[in-house]
Amino acid sequence: MRKTLARLWLSVWYLSTMWRGRVVGALCALFAAATLAEGGCAGIPPCARNSDCSEGYCFDGGCRLNCVEAALDCPKGYLCNLLAQCEAADGSSGSVTAGATATGAGTGSMSASGTTTTGGGMGGQLLERCEGAGDCSVELSCQLMTVNGVSRCTRTCALDSDCMAGTRCIDRGGKHCLTSDVGRACSEPTACNFGCLTGAHYCTGACASGADCPAGFGCQPVGNPPLKVCVKAAAYCSQADSSACLVPAACDVSASLILGGCTLACTGAADCPQRATPLAPWTCDGLCRRPSAILGSLPGGFSPVEYHCDANLQPVALCNDGQHIDFDQFVVPGPPVVNCNSDQTTPGSPGDACVDSCRYKGGCPAGFACVGVGSVGAERIGLCFPVGTGEPGVPCTKARDCAFGYCTSKSVCSRDCTIDAVCPAAMQCVVAAGPNIEGMPFRRCE
């Protein structure tokens, strides 16, 4: 089936819906202005088992997604489980709802709310799975880590700095360390831990600077009165269509970019998305600008990667962070053959996916975890790897099999415990081989 490319959706919840032959929105000065062309729909991703799907479950050879938000997609009394299937609630969670609403004009409006389960008994330790009161040690409580997600034993907090890696301090009738769901698709307040950018349809979180936000997000005031929250920059846009951007005027179609990308207003570089050290940083001239080596805007997880040519006529991946990998094979695929004179991009090999670098403080968007498995020269960096359902200690073959996005070389699910020393179940946080990361020895659960 052929369709005229009118809009490109780049949500981390819909990475399996891929477009081919994307029109190059702003080619290098070497080429003439691009014209609107057609793209093809790739169809349903093939699979043999559930773990082959970046989201959803495997059915009759293809990946399927039944639900994202239980309130919208499932019958009353059902939850949307980790395989994106509607599942009857067992009634053990004792959930209550609390919320507040803040509204603003146009796409800058935001709503906030959440759901929580209470606990506080004897037993489970930090980040261990739980079902309700009595499953956690006395100083912890059993909380839904995301709306309609899994429940884990967690602690109370006053600030984000009190929380474990990958979590934020969220007030849902009491402050607890809950999983960051920034970037998760939403359309109503109750879908998010903190708030929903209702015009852009993704969950957000409060921030003081871009360092508080996940990879690919910066920090910008939103709403009336304004509140600084995490805003997505990793999204394709063009002069003809800037609808993916929170502020339509914030579509960067600079001549240096091959694929235009959303950006955000800034008063300094600290407001902009933060890349892993020692990668070149974003800059600010009133709008956040990508480093000169970044030529595209495709988000982490987007697969297959789209390619075009740089100023030296070499094929380059058009990822928002400039990096790509095969998550399952843990290799960096070579580029395809690219026609540098074409006004369309060229997809890479199957499995070739954009990958974002990350810092532990800001972490990664919903559905990904910051794991110190990358390297730049002699330095180790964090990469955003997709998460699955396997708890630490269970067998795995790839990162997406594991709840914390880390499958070790011994084919066992683990967790990067570098900055918090937290390991669920009967495991210890131990120093692993290799260089330091962010000035600290890399540690993992074993």
* Chain centroid, CA 65 distance in Å: 18
Q: Per this entry, what is the length of the chain?
A: 446
34-59 burial, b if ≥16 CB within 10 A, otherwise e?
Answer: beeeebeeeebbebeebbbbbbbbbe
How far apart, in Å, do the first and last CA atoms of the chain sit?
49
CB-based contact 336:271 (threshold 8 Å): no
Residue 188 has what pLDDT? 87
How many whole angstroms separate alpha carbon 276 and alpha carbon 360?
A: 9
Residue 57 has what pLDDT? 61
How many whole angstroms separate alpha carbon 118 and alpha carbon 139?
A: 12
Residue 70 has what pLDDT? 59
How many whole angstroms separate alpha carbon 264 and alpha carbon 287?
A: 6
Residue 212 has what pLDDT? 97
Tokens matching residue 47? 């699979």
pLDDT per residue rounded down to tens, the chain (446 residues): 122 222 222 222 222 223 334 444 433 322 222 211 212 223 345 665 566 666 666 555 566 666 665 555 555 555 666 666 666 554 322 222 223 222 222 334 444 443 334 434 457 899 999 998 789 999 999 999 999 999 999 999 999 999 999 999 999 889 999 999 999 999 887 899 999 998 889 999 999 999 999 999 999 999 888 999 999 999 998 888 888 888 767 899 988 899 999 999 999 999 999 999 899 999 999 999 999 999 999 999 999 999 999 999 999 999 999 999 999 999 999 999 999 999 999 999 999 999 999 999 999 999 999 999 999 988 999 999 999 999 999 999 999 999 999 999 999 999 999 999 999 878 999 999 899 999 999 999 99
How many other C-beta atoms lie within 10 A of the C-beta of residue 3? 10
> Helix %, strand %, coil % for the chain, to 5?
5, 30, 60
Residue 67 has what pLDDT? 67
CB-based contact 73:67 (threshold 8 Å): yes
How many whole angstroms separate alpha carbon 193 and alpha carbon 272?
A: 23
Residue 172 has what pLDDT? 85
pTM of the model: 0.75
Query: Among positive and negative, which fits the CA dihedral 86, 87, 88, 90?
Result: negative
How many whole angstroms separate alpha carbon 82 and alpha carbon 310?
A: 40
Residue 242 has what pLDDT? 86
Query: If 0-12 CB within 10 Å is exposed, 13-18 middle and 19+ buried, where does residue 409 land?
Result: exposed
Residue 119 has what pLDDT? 39
Q: What is the CA radius of gyration of the chain?
A: 21
How many whole angstroms separate alpha carbon 95 and alpha carbon 91?
A: 9
